Amino acid sequence: MPKIYEYFGFVFFFYSNEHLPIHCHVKKDQQAVKAELEYKHGALSVKFLKVKGKKYYKAMI
């Protein structure tokens, strides 16, 4: 689980060899969210999703 970034207790990380679409995980304490990244027609969009088995971190959005 390579850590990308850590900021005020938020840990941004990814798992190598994981499924598409490209995404990263963000966790803080016992809460988590997954951010899917999509690059289409020159624009980057981010979609936040729940992580199975973890409490959804609503304040991220």
Residue 51: its pLDDT value, please? Answer: 83
Strand partners, 30: none
The model scores a pTM over 0.85: no
The answer to whether the beta carbons of residues 48 and 33 sit under 8 Å apart is yes
In this structure, is the dihedral angle defined by the CA atoms of residues 46, 48, 53 and 54, taken in order, positive or negative?
Answer: positive
pLDDT in tens, 24-41: 888 888 888 988 889 899
